[in-house]
Amino acid sequence: MLKLRSSPPSPFGRKVKLAAAILGLKDRIEIEDANTADPSDSLRSQNPLGKIPALILENGDVLYDSAVIVEYLDFLAGGEKLFPAGEARFAVLRNQTLADGIMEAAILRVYEKRFKEPKYRDPAWDAYQAAKMARGLAYFEANVPAEPSTTADIDAGTLTLACALGYLDIRFGGDWRSGHPKLVAWLDAFEAAVPAFTGTKVPPAPVPDNDPALLQ
Amino acid sequence: MLKLRSSPPSPFGRKVKLAAAILGLKDRIEIEDANTADPSDSLRSQNPLGKIPALILENGDVLYDSAVIVEYLDFLAGGEKLFPAGEARFAVLRNQTLADGIMEAAILRVYEKRFKEPKYRDPAWDAYQAAKMARGLAYFEANVPAEPSTTADIDAGTLTLACALGYLDIRFGGDWRSGHPKLVAWLDAFEAAVPAFTGTKVPPAPVPDNDPALLQ
């Protein structure tokens, strides 16, 4: 068995779970929750960056980050399922990077609230990250992907975009929805095509406020 | 011509420059400096995340981040130069992610000083990022790559590791060197094998202190 270290709200972990479902590999992966805030969790010896997801292979090797794991699962499934061949591959990778970047900016904003005492929270830093998210969402609204009908229409870029939007629903109250009607319609089509998206939903949850004990 | 948006001290930009040199593509790429702190720089319309490097293709498409660009250059050079085929590919990608992650943690620490007033700098956040760097360096010291003799021995993982160590020389006074003798010897061998590493060096430079005007 492959072992996936992740946690239910992680958008990067969700990418991997959706990829496994789409690629028919779900039964080959057991999931072990990881706590990134716990120094005694074996995660930091598995991934020195202390980040989830991390995939433990049967020989003990560890793969990360989510982009590497998704490509590895695609390889196990025979290849070129979530990544087109040839030059078309690179636009998909670029879309994946952009959607990952939206998630990373969102998570940096979440960390400000989760880990830092209020006196350390710089409004200009929050606005700087929020602007990255806004420009990324505007790009995808203006370049909305074709609505998928089946999982065969999904690629690593659109998979990541769905997880980014899902994370904004969890942690930012879905406030992206009002300004991005094409993306809202697209995400509805994505969810209809990918039942695992529904199956990996977690309820919206406020970010725990100011627990510096987590930052160790 | 391909156009690379970057800046001389960027470790991620350096990765791309070294890849272009190793792959014999240097003459196909012109470099246009980008200022990530200038909202009027066209960078933010090219990459909504506002990050460098970004590669502008001849048809106007834009690729980012550095991992995507390096793989694209490898594709232009015929493929499988900086990435081995088959399952071996994934350890290289994982090593690239780890070295990228060391750079990202380092840059988050630099940003604390560069962008934030002292009152917003949280020592626990700095220590949290520093610990990621330390664990990553310890991993590479314990799993030091084979010393390369020629550029044919370089892969995307070792290329990224060299840029990470080079960045620590620029921005952190090379203090990683005292605790990591195997990596020091490895980097010497890397530099002897890759003349472009010397050619892309910038002098160590202190991080500009506390200029919140840059955070816009």
**CA atoms of A6 and A15, how far apart (whole Å):** 11
* Whether A92 and A69 share a structural domain: no
Enumerate chain B positions whose Cβ falls within 8 A of a Cβ in A.
44, 47-51, 61-65, 67-68, 71-72, 75, 87, 89-91, 93-94, 97-98, 101, 105, 115-117, 119-122, 124-125, 128, 131-132, 135-136, 138-139, 212, 215-216
Within-domain flag for A215: no
Q: Which residue of A has its CA nearest to B104?
A: A49
Q: Determine contact, residues A197/A165, Cβ cutoff 8 Å.
A: no
Which pLDDT score, from 0 to 100, does residue A3 have?
A: 98
Phi, psi angles (nearest 5°) of residue A81: -90, -50
Give the residue on A whose Cα is nearest the Cα of B65. A97
How far apart CA B72 and CA A205 sit, in angstroms, is 39
What amino acid occupies position B156?
A
Q: Which residues contact A164 (CB under 8 A, 6 or more apart)?
A: A11, A99, A100, A102, A103, A106, A136
Q: In this structure, what token pair is assigned to residue B140?
A: 């590479």
C-alpha distance from residue A75 to each of A71, A186, B80, B86, B156 (Å): 6, 27, 15, 8, 19
With CB atoms and an 8 Å threshold, state whether A135 touches B50.
yes
ipTM: 0.97
pLDDT of amino acid A213: 64
Measured between beta carbons, the chain A residues lying within 8 angstroms of B94 are 61-64, 68
pLDDT for A17 equals 98
For residues B16 and B54, membership in a common domain is answered with: yes
Domain CATH code at residue A167: 1.20.1050.10
Of B76, B110, B136, the residue that ends a domain is B76
Identify the CA nearest to A180 among candidates A193, A195, A165, A192: A165
Residues of chain A with pLDDT under 70: 212-216
Are A20 and A97 in a shared domain? no
Instruction: Return d(Cα B96, Cα A162) in angstroms, integer.
Output: 25
Question: Which chain B residues touch A47 with a CB distance below 8 Å?
Answer: 98
- pLDDT tens, position by position, for chain B (216 residues)? 999 999 999 999 999 999 999 999 999 999 999 999 899 999 999 999 999 999 999 999 999 999 999 999 999 999 999 999 999 999 999 999 999 999 999 999 999 999 899 999 999 999 999 999 999 999 999 999 999 999 999 999 999 999 999 999 999 999 999 999 999 999 999 999 999 999 999 999 878 776 666 666
CATH number for B7:
3.40.30.10
Neighbouring C-alpha atoms within 13 Å toward the C-beta of A156:
31
**Burial category of A45 from C-beta neighbours within 10 Å (exposed 0-12, middle 13-18, buried 19 and up):** exposed
β A29-33/A2-6 pair status: parallel
Q: Is residue B210 part of a domain?
A: no
Q: Give me the pLDDT at residue A209, please.
A: 76
Contacts A12 to B, Cβ<8 Å: none
What per-residue confidence (pLDDT) applies to B207?
81
Which of B59, B94, B210 should be substituted to probe chain A, the one whose Cβ sees the most A Cβ atoms within 10 Å?
A: B94
Task: Examine the domain organization and report whether A116 and A180 are in the same domain.
Answer: yes
B127 and B188 belong to one structural domain: yes
B106 and B169 assigned to the same domain: yes
Based on the fold, state whether residues B37 and B137 are members of the same structural domain.
no
DSSP 8-state assignment for residue B187 = H
Q: Does residue B209 lie within any of the structural domains?
A: no
Same domain, A64 and A100: no
Non-local (6+) Cβ contacts of A205 within 8 A are A9, A170, A171
pLDDT value at residue A216: 64
Compare all CA atoms of chain A with the CA of B125 and give the residue at the minimum distance: A215
DSSP state of A170: H
Q: What is the pLDDT of residue B206?
A: 77
Kindly determine whether residue B71 and residue A51, on different chains, have CB atoms separated by under 8 Å.
no
What per-residue confidence (pLDDT) applies to A43?
98
Q: Which of B61, B90, B105 sits opposite A91 (nearest CB)?
A: B61
Contact at 8 Å (CB) between B15 and B66? Answer: yes
Instruction: Note the pLDDT tens digit of each residue in A167-178.
Output: 999 999 999 999
**Sheet hosting strand A2-6, strand order edge to edge:** A29-33, A2-6, A54-56, A62-63
The answer on B190 and B110 residing in a single domain is yes
Question: Which range of residues forms the domain containing residue A21?
Answer: 2-76
Domain boundary among B76, B106, B121: B76
8 Å CB contact between A200 and A22: no
Residue A213 lies in a domain: no
Contact B49 A98 (CB under 8 A): yes
The residues with which B31 forms a beta bridge, in sequence order, are: B4
Residue B110 token pair: 């630099």
Contact between chains at B97 and A68 (C-beta distance less than 8 A): yes
> A135-193, pLDDT tens digit by residue?
999 999 999 999 999 999 999 999 999 999 999 999 999 999 999 999 999 999 999 99
Q: At what angle do helices B123-142 and B88-115 cross, to 10 degrees?
A: 150
Separation between Cα atoms, residue A10 and residue A8, nearest integer Å: 6
Chain A interface residues (partner B, CB cutoff 8 A): 44, 47-51, 61-65, 67-68, 71-72, 75, 87, 89-91, 93-94, 97-98, 101, 105, 115-117, 119-122, 124-125, 128, 131-132, 135-136, 138-139, 212, 215-216
Is residue B176 within 8 Å of B165, Cβ to Cβ?
yes
Neighbouring residues of A128: CB distance < 8 A, sequence distance ≥ 6: B115, B215, B216
Contact A101 B51 (CB under 8 A): yes
A-chain CB neighbours of B67 within 8 Å are 67, 97
In which residue are the tokens 């690593």 written?
A156
Which of A36, A49, A109 would best serve as a mutation to test chain B binding (most B beta carbons within 10 A)? A49
Q: Quick check: is B64 in a domain?
A: yes
Domain count, chain B: 2
Question: B113 and B186 in one domain?
Answer: yes
Verify that B101 and B195 share a domain, yes or no.
Answer: yes
